[in-house]
Chains A and B, each alone.
Chain A
């Protein structure tokens, strides 16, 4: 299956990348997206459970392709991906829950922030909850998707309402399972960077969390 899918996916990736450089191809990518994106979403659910971090497989190739399409066609991708996410977020089979979470993360770069912000505000509590999913792969994907939000649309994260539970669950994830630790680490690094405030600021949104965060990190490094 993998060789069959790899070549078409590579071609699509190249086309999606080409869309950002050449105007004549822009519409081609948009038209292709309508046909291709639903297929990519299905392929996300073909995860390889035993894959090492560096391994390239169908699910990861589909994810990268989806990311590229999102960057190329922007907002047009949101509706179809959102439909997929809503249908599969609470699926009994972890493969589909994982695919749904990943798909959401894939479109965090490309569509306009204004379009993404209300979706993110709705999604944040759900994603935080899924960091405690029964499947560790889903936990890790949730952490990674939260990282994608912190990296690309941090303005959607409200310091009063969203930040405390987000910081808490990322630190819990950091200590709880090595499989999701690096995703949590990356997400926290993005948070630290995006919420730093102006250089020389007296206070920033993370100030309240600083002492506990440092204590937590020191404990992790002691192992």
Chain B
């Protein structure tokens, strides 16, 4: 897993929050896109699970948890 700087991590979290904002405020005509989005997010979340076994460093583990949290919140919306 590529290590990311703090800035990248912050941007990624902010971008997922932005995604949530768009989805929360979407009008009905955007729902098909939201449905496809759920598939993508779910896929990304599934991809992170095998990584849990491979990760060694604390930093990488924190990063992985951050990503998983962001993805899960996106799904909840």
A residues lining the B interface (CB < 8 Å): 174, 178, 181-182, 185-186, 188-189, 192-193, 195-197, 200-204, 206-207, 210-211, 213-214, 217-218, 220-221, 223
Contacts and interface: CB of A to CB of B under 8 A. Distances in A.
A220 B30 contact: no
A181 B18 CA distance: 12
A26 to B, nearest CB: 36
B3 interface: no
B27 interface: yes
Contact of A201 (B17, B27, B33): B27
Contacts of A220: 11-12, 15
- Interface SS of B by simple majority: helix
A166 B24 CA distance: 20
Contacts of A186: 14
A223 B12 CA distance: 8
B73 interface: no
B17 A189 contact: yes
Contacts of A178: 7-8, 11
Contacts, number: 85
A196 B14 contact: no
A223 B14 contact: no
B28 A192 contact: no
A206 B11 contact: no
27 contacts: A178-B7, A178-B8, A182-B10, A182-B11, A182-B14, A185-B18, A188-B22, A193-B25, A196-B25, A201-B28, A202-B27, A202-B29, A204-B26, A206-B22, A206-B26, A210-B26, A211-B30, A214-B22, A214-B33, A217-B18, A218-B19, A220-B12, A220-B15, A221-B15, A221-B19, A221-B70, A223-B11
Nearest to A190: B21
Interface residues of B, number: 25
A71 B24 CA distance: 30
Contact of A207 (B10, B14, B30): B30
Given A207-B26, A214-B37, A217-B22, 17 more contacts: A174-B15, A178-B7, A186-B14, A202-B28, A203-B29, A204-B26, A206-B25, A206-B27, A210-B30, A211-B33, A213-B22, A214-B22, A217-B15, A217-B19, A218-B37, A221-B19, A221-B70
Given A182-B10, A182-B14, A217-B19, A203 B25 contact: no
Nearest 4 interchain pairs by C-beta = A196-B25, A204-B27, A210-B30, A192-B21
B28 A200 contact: yes
Contacts of A185: 11, 14-15, 17-18
